Amino acid sequence: MLRNFLILSFFYYHYSVWGQNRLQLQEQRNRLLKDIELANQQLRSTSKTLEGINRSLQHLEKKIALREALILTYQNELALLNKRIDSGMVVAGALEKKLNRIKEDYAQLVRTEYKLLNGAAENLYLLAARDFNDAYLRRSYFRSMRNYRRWLAQEIAKEQAVLADVLDALRKIRQEKALALQQEQVQRNLLAAEQAEKEKLKAQLRSRERELRQLIARKEKERRQLEVKIKKLIEEELAAERRKAEARARKEKNRSAGPPDVRKPSETTRPLGLRATPDAMELSGAFENNKGRLPWPVEKAALAAGFGVQAHAFLRNVTIKNDGVDIAAPPGAPVRAVFRGQVSGVFPVQGFDNVVILRHGEYLTVYANLHQVTVTKGMQVEARQILGRLPSIGQDIVTMNFQVRKGAMPLNPLQWLHP
């Protein structure tokens, strides 16, 4: 029973569980290889200027992280292969043990039969019986011995076939392990080369540290300019809503002699937040319900820089703040709305080219670095509607900045976009 369980477990794991695990690892590996190729395109697209070298370092760090994750998939595969080999060795050992035991029983049976016959033919042994009953018993005994010997021979052949299958499966597993080890070593060599290139880029930037700090300061200034623009837009939205509320109140006053029901702005708005009108609340709720399921603003995109405050690769006490995420895409790629809403603003900002802001109730989505814009302020747009296009500058990859905000507060877009 134990032997049958081991064999069934081995072949079930070999053809079912391992197949599923390998498929998952292969899918993960394909995604990582795709992201690594995109990182290569980003590296090829960067110029030799200081800003280009700084961006190359960022892309290279991302590529190194992806390479390390890819190596981890090979390590996981090797761990699974080692488990399969260990399991197969246990099964093969049990089969060999049983096969040896059956062969020994078969040999013992042959020796017993030889001793009984003492080298003579079976018929002579029967003729030497004392009487008919003794002859009948001797014949029945030899028939049983022949049947048992035939069964043992069949069992030997059967066990040899099963053992051959297990050994063949083990041979294939070892071949897969050798290939995985070879591929892992290739990735480790590439990782070592990338880490050396990273140190080379860092050395170039260290020699121009003063310029680099000035570049980072300029980028921070441009980010703050965009922040000011967004806050100003929100204030304009609030002012327009207050004017509408006052107009409605004046109409109510004309209809009734009683005092108008005009609430103060502080009662209907939050600081740097958007008014929660019934329509806005409905749209906000729909937007919130799609958290984690929004489409990416560009197709064939990859993350180039994450959200929040991040330490610089090597400059001490220098951080880089990103109110959204940087997304890499092909030049001229169309930029799409991630959700239905109204165009709240279209304006240029230094360092961000053209910026489009959509309002979704209390939420805003920001699309920066658009070279061509196909919408205007006040337009109603639907999800996946094209807002504009990224620059076409002859490079393999360009980058846009995408933000999600609740009022003026930046939110992590990766928590809202579909993985």
Q: Quick one: pLDDT at residue 309?
A: 83
Residue type at 58 in one-letter notation: Q
Per residue in 261-270, pLDDT (tens digit) is 544 444 344 4
DSSP strand pairing (353-360 vs 341-349): antiparallel
Q: Which amino acid is at 267?
A: E
**Left, alpha or beta for 324 (phi > 0: left; psi -120 to 50: alpha)?**
beta
Could you tell me which CATH class the domain 210-415 is placed in? Answer: mainly beta
Domain with CATH 2.70.70.10 in the chain: 210-415
Quick one: pLDDT at residue 221?
Answer: 83
Q: Which residues in the chain come in under a pLDDT of 70?
A: 1-20, 38, 41-51, 116-129, 135, 241, 245, 255-280, 313-314, 394-396
Q: How many CB atoms lie within 10 A of CB 162?
A: 17
In the block, residue with structure tokens 């080379």:
200
Cα dist from 14 to 17, 28, 80, whole Å: 7, 20, 10
Using an 8 Å Cβ cutoff, are 245 and 264 in contact? no
- pLDDT tens for 96-155 read 998 999 899 888 888 877 776 665 555 555 666 677 777 677 778 778 878 888 898 898
CA angle 229, 283, 278 (to 5 degrees): 100
